[in-house]
Amino acid sequence: MTNLTVLHSALAGVYLLTPDAASFGFNNVLKVVGHALNAGVRAVQYRDKGADPASRLDRAQQLVALTHRAAALLIVNDSVEVAAASGADGVHLGRDDGDLSIARRRLPNRMLGVSCYDQLEAARAAIAAGADAIAFGSMFASSTKPAAVRAPLTLLSQARSSWPHQRIVAIGGINRGNIAAVARAGAHAAAVLDAVFGANNPALAARELVQGFNEGRHEHDEQRSPV
Protein backbone atom coordinates (compact mmCIF):
# COMPACT_ATOMS: atom_id res chain seq x y z
CA MET A 1 0.00 0.00 0.00
CA THR A 2 1.56 3.33 -1.02
CA ASN A 3 -1.35 5.72 -1.46
CA LEU A 4 -1.67 7.83 1.69
CA THR A 5 -5.43 8.13 1.28
CA VAL A 6 -5.67 4.33 1.30
CA LEU A 7 -3.36 4.12 4.32
CA HIS A 8 -5.45 6.66 6.24
CA SER A 9 -8.68 4.76 5.71
CA ALA A 10 -7.01 1.47 6.62
CA LEU A 11 -5.85 2.73 10.01
CA ALA A 12 -9.15 2.03 11.72
CA GLY A 13 -10.59 -0.11 14.46
CA VAL A 14 -8.38 -2.35 16.58
CA TYR A 15 -4.69 -1.45 16.17
CA LEU A 16 -2.63 -4.34 17.53
CA LEU A 17 0.78 -3.64 19.10
CA THR A 18 3.28 -6.47 19.45
CA PRO A 19 5.31 -7.27 22.59
CA ASP A 20 9.09 -7.63 22.55
CA ALA A 21 10.02 -10.96 20.97
CA ALA A 22 12.59 -11.63 23.70
CA SER A 23 9.84 -12.06 26.29
CA PHE A 24 7.07 -13.50 24.12
CA GLY A 25 8.90 -15.38 21.35
CA PHE A 26 8.65 -14.17 17.78
CA ASN A 27 6.96 -17.34 16.51
CA ASN A 28 4.28 -16.75 19.12
CA VAL A 29 4.00 -13.12 17.98
CA LEU A 30 3.39 -14.29 14.41
CA LYS A 31 0.80 -16.80 15.58
CA VAL A 32 -1.17 -14.26 17.61
CA VAL A 33 -0.99 -11.64 14.86
CA GLY A 34 -2.36 -14.23 12.44
CA HIS A 35 -5.30 -14.95 14.76
CA ALA A 36 -5.95 -11.21 15.15
CA LEU A 37 -5.94 -10.64 11.39
CA ASN A 38 -8.40 -13.48 10.95
CA ALA A 39 -10.59 -11.81 13.60
CA GLY A 40 -10.74 -8.58 11.62
CA VAL A 41 -7.79 -6.54 12.90
CA ARG A 42 -6.45 -4.45 10.01
CA ALA A 43 -3.51 -2.58 11.54
CA VAL A 44 -0.48 -3.96 13.41
CA GLN A 45 2.45 -2.11 14.96
CA TYR A 46 5.73 -3.98 15.32
CA ARG A 47 7.47 -3.06 18.57
CA ASP A 48 10.71 -4.83 19.50
CA LYS A 49 13.10 -2.40 21.16
CA GLY A 50 15.36 -5.12 22.55
CA ALA A 51 16.19 -6.77 19.22
CA ASP A 52 19.37 -6.14 17.26
CA PRO A 53 19.00 -4.26 13.94
CA ALA A 54 19.27 -7.34 11.70
CA SER A 55 16.64 -9.23 13.71
CA ARG A 56 14.31 -6.24 13.73
CA LEU A 57 14.49 -5.92 9.97
CA ASP A 58 13.92 -9.64 9.40
CA ARG A 59 10.98 -9.74 11.79
CA ALA A 60 9.47 -6.59 10.31
CA GLN A 61 9.68 -8.14 6.83
CA GLN A 62 7.92 -11.28 8.07
CA LEU A 63 5.15 -9.20 9.60
CA VAL A 64 4.83 -7.09 6.45
CA ALA A 65 4.28 -10.28 4.44
CA LEU A 66 1.73 -11.59 6.95
CA THR A 67 -0.27 -8.39 7.25
CA HIS A 68 -0.26 -7.62 3.54
CA ARG A 69 -1.68 -11.06 2.76
CA ALA A 70 -4.63 -9.98 4.92
CA ALA A 71 -4.84 -6.54 3.27
CA ALA A 72 -3.77 -5.01 6.60
CA LEU A 73 -1.20 -2.39 7.59
CA LEU A 74 2.16 -2.97 9.24
CA ILE A 75 3.58 0.04 11.09
CA VAL A 76 7.09 -0.06 12.61
CA ASN A 77 7.62 1.51 16.01
CA ASP A 78 10.43 4.05 16.49
CA SER A 79 12.69 3.17 13.51
CA VAL A 80 12.44 5.03 10.21
CA GLU A 81 15.28 2.86 8.87
CA VAL A 82 13.50 -0.43 9.56
CA ALA A 83 10.22 0.93 8.20
CA ALA A 84 11.91 2.07 4.99
CA ALA A 85 13.91 -1.14 4.44
CA SER A 86 11.17 -3.61 5.33
CA GLY A 87 8.45 -2.29 3.03
CA ALA A 88 6.26 -1.42 6.02
CA ASP A 89 3.31 0.92 5.56
CA GLY A 90 4.68 3.49 7.96
CA VAL A 91 6.43 4.34 11.20
CA HIS A 92 5.28 5.48 14.64
CA LEU A 93 7.52 7.82 16.63
CA GLY A 94 7.56 8.96 20.24
CA ARG A 95 9.05 12.14 21.64
CA ASP A 96 12.58 10.68 21.70
CA ASP A 97 12.52 8.83 18.37
CA GLY A 98 13.92 11.45 16.04
CA ASP A 99 12.97 14.47 13.96
CA LEU A 100 9.49 14.24 12.44
CA SER A 101 10.33 16.38 9.42
CA ILE A 102 13.23 14.07 8.53
CA ALA A 103 10.99 11.04 8.95
CA ARG A 104 8.40 12.63 6.66
CA ARG A 105 11.02 13.20 3.98
CA ARG A 106 12.37 9.66 4.31
CA LEU A 107 8.89 8.13 4.03
CA PRO A 108 6.96 10.51 1.78
CA ASN A 109 4.24 8.06 0.79
CA ARG A 110 3.88 6.13 4.02
CA MET A 111 2.04 6.66 7.28
CA LEU A 112 3.71 8.80 9.94
CA GLY A 113 2.23 8.30 13.39
CA VAL A 114 3.27 10.32 16.43
CA SER A 115 2.69 9.93 20.17
CA CYS A 116 1.14 13.11 21.56
CA TYR A 117 0.38 11.84 25.07
CA ASP A 118 -2.18 14.26 26.62
CA GLN A 119 -1.18 17.35 24.64
CA LEU A 120 -3.14 18.99 21.84
CA GLU A 121 -0.21 21.34 21.26
CA ALA A 122 2.08 18.36 20.65
CA ALA A 123 -0.44 17.10 18.10
CA ARG A 124 -0.53 20.49 16.41
CA ALA A 125 3.26 20.53 16.09
CA ALA A 126 3.33 16.94 14.83
CA ILE A 127 0.76 17.67 12.14
CA ALA A 128 2.74 20.73 11.04
CA ALA A 129 5.75 18.42 10.62
CA GLY A 130 3.73 16.02 8.46
CA ALA A 131 2.13 13.53 10.84
CA ASP A 132 -0.82 11.52 9.51
CA ALA A 133 -1.85 9.77 12.74
CA ILE A 134 -1.78 11.33 16.20
CA ALA A 135 -1.94 9.08 19.24
CA PHE A 136 -3.20 10.10 22.68
CA GLY A 137 -2.89 8.25 25.95
CA SER A 138 -2.69 6.55 28.25
CA MET A 139 -6.48 6.60 28.15
CA PHE A 140 -6.75 4.19 31.09
CA ALA A 141 -4.39 2.61 33.62
CA SER A 142 -1.87 0.54 31.68
CA SER A 143 0.14 -2.44 32.89
CA THR A 144 2.55 -1.95 29.98
CA LYS A 145 3.37 1.64 31.01
CA PRO A 146 2.00 2.12 34.55
CA ALA A 147 3.65 5.53 34.99
CA ALA A 148 2.32 6.96 31.72
CA VAL A 149 0.47 10.26 31.79
CA ARG A 150 -3.32 9.90 31.58
CA ALA A 151 -5.37 11.52 28.81
CA PRO A 152 -9.14 12.12 29.05
CA LEU A 153 -11.56 10.70 26.48
CA THR A 154 -12.65 14.25 25.66
CA LEU A 155 -9.22 14.79 24.12
CA LEU A 156 -10.16 12.36 21.35
CA SER A 157 -13.28 14.33 20.49
CA GLN A 158 -11.36 17.60 20.52
CA ALA A 159 -8.64 16.23 18.26
CA ARG A 160 -11.07 14.74 15.79
CA SER A 161 -12.94 18.03 15.52
CA SER A 162 -9.73 20.05 15.22
CA TRP A 163 -8.03 17.85 12.61
CA PRO A 164 -10.61 16.03 10.51
CA HIS A 165 -8.02 14.89 7.97
CA GLN A 166 -5.73 13.14 10.48
CA ARG A 167 -6.30 9.74 12.07
CA ILE A 168 -6.91 9.86 15.82
CA VAL A 169 -5.51 6.92 17.77
CA ALA A 170 -6.18 6.07 21.42
CA ILE A 171 -3.68 4.01 23.43
CA GLY A 172 -3.16 2.76 26.95
CA GLY A 173 -5.15 0.33 29.07
CA ILE A 174 -7.76 -0.33 26.38
CA ASN A 175 -9.67 -3.61 26.73
CA ARG A 176 -13.03 -5.20 25.91
CA GLY A 177 -14.72 -3.30 28.71
CA ASN A 178 -13.75 0.19 27.57
CA ILE A 179 -12.94 0.02 23.85
CA ALA A 180 -16.48 1.05 22.84
CA ALA A 181 -16.10 4.24 24.90
CA VAL A 182 -12.88 5.06 23.04
CA ALA A 183 -14.58 4.65 19.66
CA ARG A 184 -17.65 6.56 20.86
CA ALA A 185 -15.39 9.47 21.85
CA GLY A 186 -14.06 9.76 18.31
CA ALA A 187 -10.93 7.61 17.98
CA HIS A 188 -10.44 6.18 14.50
CA ALA A 189 -8.32 3.40 16.01
CA ALA A 190 -7.64 1.89 19.42
CA ALA A 191 -4.18 0.50 20.13
CA VAL A 192 -4.06 -2.64 22.27
CA LEU A 193 -1.38 -5.04 23.41
CA ASP A 194 -2.15 -6.95 26.62
CA ALA A 195 -5.85 -7.21 25.74
CA VAL A 196 -4.84 -9.65 22.97
CA PHE A 197 -1.35 -10.94 23.75
CA GLY A 198 -2.17 -11.39 27.44
CA ALA A 199 -5.47 -13.18 26.81
CA ASN A 200 -5.98 -16.90 27.33
CA ASN A 201 -7.66 -17.02 23.93
CA PRO A 202 -6.12 -14.29 21.74
CA ALA A 203 -8.33 -15.11 18.75
CA LEU A 204 -11.51 -14.69 20.79
CA ALA A 205 -10.15 -11.58 22.51
CA ALA A 206 -9.39 -9.96 19.15
CA ARG A 207 -12.89 -10.73 17.84
CA GLU A 208 -14.50 -9.25 20.93
CA LEU A 209 -12.36 -6.12 20.69
CA VAL A 210 -13.27 -5.65 17.04
CA GLN A 211 -16.94 -6.07 17.93
CA GLY A 212 -16.70 -3.63 20.83
CA PHE A 213 -14.95 -0.98 18.76
CA ASN A 214 -17.52 -1.31 15.98
CA GLU A 215 -20.34 -0.86 18.49
CA GLY A 216 -18.79 2.35 19.79
CA ARG A 217 -18.03 3.65 16.31
CA HIS A 218 -21.64 3.07 15.29
CA GLU A 219 -22.81 5.09 18.29
CA HIS A 220 -20.32 7.86 17.46
CA ASP A 221 -21.59 8.04 13.89
CA GLU A 222 -25.23 8.02 15.03
CA GLN A 223 -24.59 10.95 17.40
CA ARG A 224 -23.30 13.00 14.46
CA SER A 225 -25.91 12.01 11.89
CA PRO A 226 -28.35 14.78 10.93
CA VAL A 227 -31.84 14.33 12.36
Distance CA 101, CA 12 (A): 24
What are the helix and strand counts (H, E) for the chain?
11, 8
Coil, strand, or helix at residue 217? Answer: helix
SS3 label, residue 75: strand
Model pTM?
A: 0.94
Cis status, amide bond into 115, omega within 30 of 0: no
Mind listing the pLDDT tens digit for each residue in 77-132?
999 999 999 999 999 999 888 899 999 999 999 999 999 999 999 999 999 999 99
Read off the CATH number of the domain in which 90 is found. Answer: 3.20.20.70
Query: How many structural domains compose the chain?
Result: 1
Note down the domain range covering 156. 4-223
pLDDT in tens, 170-223: 999 999 999 999 999 999 999 999 999 999 999 999 999 999 999 999 999 888
Do residues 112 and 100 make contact, with C-beta atoms less than 8 angstroms apart? yes
